[in-house]
Amino acid sequence: MGLARFGRPKGAAEGQLSPNLFVANCGPAVGLSHDAIASAFGAFGQVKGVYAADDTGARVVVSFAEEASAQNALNALHGRPCAHLGGRTLHIRYSVLQPTSLGRVNDSVEVSLLDSELNIPGLYLFHDFVTAEEEEELLAAVDERPWKNLAKRRVQHYGYEFCYETRNVDSKKNLGSFPAFVPPILERISMLPKREDVETIALDQLTVNEYPPGVGLSPHIDTHSAFEGLIFSLSLAGPCIMEFRRYFEGDRPPRTSSSIDIETENSENNSNFLRRAVYLPPRSLLLLSGEARYAWHHYIPHHKVDKVKDSVIRRGSRRVSFTFRKVRTTPCQCEFPQYCDSQR
């Protein structure tokens, strides 16, 4: 079955109007946030969203509510410096739906852009947690260190090693101090708003995952007995969506695992759990705490493209995540025994 993505019209469709614009020389990689882009293009009409067009960070799709707004923006800005975007000269074309065979698009659940749209207690998403320059420095730092190969991705462990066979850590086997690139991230985490206990928790375990295109993560809840109540995940390089599932009372969820790869998507009956999904752009930080951490399964669909609002976004050549946790040394006493291995 053919899929859809946004692309530039060709041939007879060259003059085809569209409410969506492909904008080059524009994006976080050249110092322009999606919010700033939306504000600048908003002068021409209602902007429904700004999305990464590819993994370069220098091309975006601006989606308007009306075709006329897109036409006015193209006529005014194409090939001209934009004063509201640092004087950059933008290269703009209409962006229309075109067939592609990259992979399946997850359009079965609406994807949110903000944590407030999810209505999941304890879930927070912080955009632009690091700068584009800091992102490159972090990627270079981990690429200088050895990777461990799993079935479909590569990992690095710091502080404590996570054992995928037992879905736990050995708290008596410390791997030593964090490398120099980690403490600045932890300091910034300690200053986050919305969570008073962020300042006091001493995160001591880091797992770095590298995902090739099309590789995701199976549905799981991080093992309660292995880690305490705050989990932070920093997304770098490529975008993705993360889906969350909350099983209804009395329904038996799948066996809790942690980051175990599976060959196919989970095909359970969707009627026995709530579903939410959020778009994780590069350089964003996701915090799972409370109910979001202990009671909602989270996973990354095994897709090469994701549908986000009215756009189809291609995953990058790689996505690298930094997941920070605190190793648990006492039994978990959370309020969700149906998901808690410490209370069984």
Q: Where are the beta strands (DSSP E) in 133-262?
A: 148-149, 154-158, 162-163, 168-169, 205-211, 217-220, 230-236, 240-247
- Is residue 74 a contact partner of residue 16, using CB atoms and an 8 Å limit? no
Helical segments of 131-248, H only: 132-143, 183-190
Looking at the DSSP bridge assignments, the partners of residue 23 are 60, 92
The string of pLDDT tens digits covering residues 219-272 is 889 999 999 999 999 999 999 999 999 987 655 555 544 443 333 344 445 557
pLDDT in tens, 78-93: 999 999 999 999 999 9
Q: What is the per-residue pLDDT for 173? A: 86
Task: Determine the Cα–Cα distance for residues 48 and 44; give it in Å rounded to an integer.
Answer: 12
At residue 267, the pLDDT reads 44
Ranking 107-111, 180-184, 237-241, 333-337 by mean pLDDT, the lowest is 107-111
CB 223 within 8 A of CB 258: yes
Do the Cβ atoms of 115 and 125 come closer than 8 Å? yes
What's the confidence (pLDDT) of residue 208? Answer: 97
Q: What is the pLDDT of residue 1?
A: 28
Structure token digits, residue 13: 């469709």
Report in angstroms the alpha-carbon separations of 198 from 14, 115, 121, 251: 52, 18, 16, 33
pTM across the whole model: 0.67
- Domains observed in the chain: 17-97 (3.30.70.330), 111-250+273-339 (2.60.120.1520)
In this structure, which amino acid lies at residue 161? E
Tell me the pairing of strands 273-280 and 111-112: parallel
Give 198-213 pLDDT, tens digit per residue: 555 789 999 999 999 8
What confidence tier does 74 reach under pLDDT thresholds 50, 70, 90? very high
The average confidence (pLDDT) of the chain is: 83
Between the alpha carbon of residue 174 and those of residues 183, 270, 322, the distances in Å are: 17, 41, 18
The encoded tokens of residue 167 equal 């879905």
pLDDT tens, 154-183? 999 999 998 887 788 888 889 999 999 999
- Quote the pLDDT of residue 29: 77
**pLDDT attached to residue 160:** 94
pLDDT of amino acid 342: 76
Q: What is the pLDDT of residues 11-60, one digit of tens each?
A: 434 456 889 999 999 988 788 888 899 999 999 999 988 887 766 678 88
